[in-house]
Structures are given as C-alpha cells and as structure tokens.
Amino acid sequence: MDRMTADDVRSMMIAVADRIIASEQLLTKADRDIGDGDHGLGMTRGFTAVRELLLENTYDDVQSVLAGVGDTLITSMGGASGVVFGLLFRAGAQGLLPSDVLTVPIAADHFERSTREISRRGGATIGDKTMLDALHPAVESLRRSSEAGDTLAYAFRGAAIAAGEGTDRSKDLVARFGKAMTLGERSLGFPDAGAVSTTIIFTAMAEWITANNEHPTTSAQGEV
C-alpha cells in the first residue's frame, strides 16, 4: 500500500485512540515515576474525545482528519500534553494543501512540520528527555523512507521502531524540561512518559496499516 484515503486515516486514528485508551495504566505509571502521574488520565480524556469525533464525522481530505484530531486533543486535554500531542496532528496539517490521500512523503512532511512547531512553542530540543526524543528519530526514519520510496507499512513500522529506540535512550537522559527537570539525576533510569505515548501512537499506526495492507480502502476492523 502506498496511499491511504482520508477514511483510512480516520479508521487508523480510531485504532490509535483505542490503543492509547487501553494504555492508561501504563502511562500513569510511567509519569508517576518522574512526573506527577496525570499523563495517562489526560491522554485517555483526549483520545476518548478524538474517538467520539471520528466516529461522528466523515472526511474528504487527510489534513482535515489530522487537524480535527489535533484540535480535539488541545481542547479536551489541557496541560502541556494537550498542546504538544495536539500540535503533533494539527501543526503539520496546517501548512499543507488538503490532499485526498496520505502517502509516505506527505506523512514525512506532516510530522516534520509538527516536530518543528512543538519544539518552537515548547522550547525543548532533542536530548531534554521529552516526547521529542521519540518523535525526532521517528520523523527522521519517515524522511529516509520517503526518499527510498518505501511502502506506508514499511515506513511506519520503521518510524515506530525508531520511536521505541528513542524512548529507550531517554532513560539515560537527565530531564532538562518540564516538571521532571528539577529531579536532575533522579530522573535517570526512567523513560519520558510523553516519549512512551509517542511510541504507542506510531506503533498503533504501523499496526493498523500492516493489518489493512491488502484492503487499503476498507474500514478498520473492530470499528463500531
């Protein structure tokens, strides 16, 4: 599969929402280790609202799906995570012309723009022990896949793996941003909770694309 319709993207994002909601306990624990423990709650609230939005709407272009997801996260979550994960889907869509399909190059462009905007607004950079430590390698992997002409399934699997590796590396980083910042050395040994969420998102996207590879235009299994 080298292209997905707007409806495919909608179905994929419902699968992402389901996966985040199912990961609430894991995210709560990851955040409690070096934060205040509210990340799981916030992400669940945001993606529950995303799920409702997507089940109630149909879309003609990919950017409307992604911007809708982003707006919903920003509005429903609050906190730093609401804006950061909202921008992950909204910021990339804002600068791009509406397209009726998602391809690897469009995905790479989207997440590259999102990453820049998250970094610009939040003020964090790679190595600060934030979600950027997972997102940045994932986007680099997407870019490489775009240049190599990889399929969507291959490109997103590569991005998910890169995000996971980035998350693992974040264990060895001392937090230089957010509420974990003042923990200093005490933040060592734990991954950043936002990086964990980022990996879950890319993994769920990769798995949906892989599972629906043969019937790229049919809706997601298990959608209600």
Partner 1 sequence: MRKFINEPRQVARETLEGFLAVYGDRFTQVPGSLAVAKRIPADKVAIVSGGGSGHEPVWLEYIGPGFADAVCQGDIFAAPAPRSIVRAAKAVERGRGILFVYGNYSGDRLNFDLAAEELQAEGHEVLTVRVADDVAAAPPERANDRRGIAGGFFVSKIAGAASEVGLDLKSVQELATLAADRTRSMGVASAGGTIPGTEEPTFVLPDGKMEIGMGMHGEAGVRRADMATADETVDQMVRLIMGDRSLSPDEKACVLVNGLGATTRAELLIIARRTARVLDQAGIRIHDLQVGDFATSQEMHGFSISVFGLTPELQKLYDAPGRTSFFSGANRH
Contacts with partner 1 by CB under 8 A lie at 28, 32, 36-38, 41-42, 74-84, 121-124, 177-179, 181-184, 186
How are beta strands 101-102 and 4-5 bridged, if at all? antiparallel
Nearer to partner 1, 42 or 92 (CB): 42
For residues 43 and 160, which CB has a smaller minimum distance to partner 1 in the complex? Answer: 43
Q: What DSSP designation does 151 have?
A: -
Q: Whose Cβ is closer to partner 1: residue 16's or residue 83's? A: 83
Kindly state the smallest distance separating residue 121's Cβ from partner 1, in Å. Answer: 6
- Separation of alpha carbons 94 and 153, rounded Å: 24
| Collapsed DSSP state (helix, strand, coil) of residue 30 | helix
d(CA 80, CA 196): 15
Minimum distance of partner 1 from residue 192's CB (angstroms): 13
Tell me the closest approach of the beta carbon of residue 77 to partner 1, in angstroms. 7
> CA 72, CA 57: separation in Å to the nearest integer?
13
Nearer to partner 1, 123 or 222 (CB): 123
What separation in angstroms does the CA of 201 have from each of 131, 183, 204?
12, 27, 5
| Least distance (Å) between residue 169 CB and partner 1 | 21
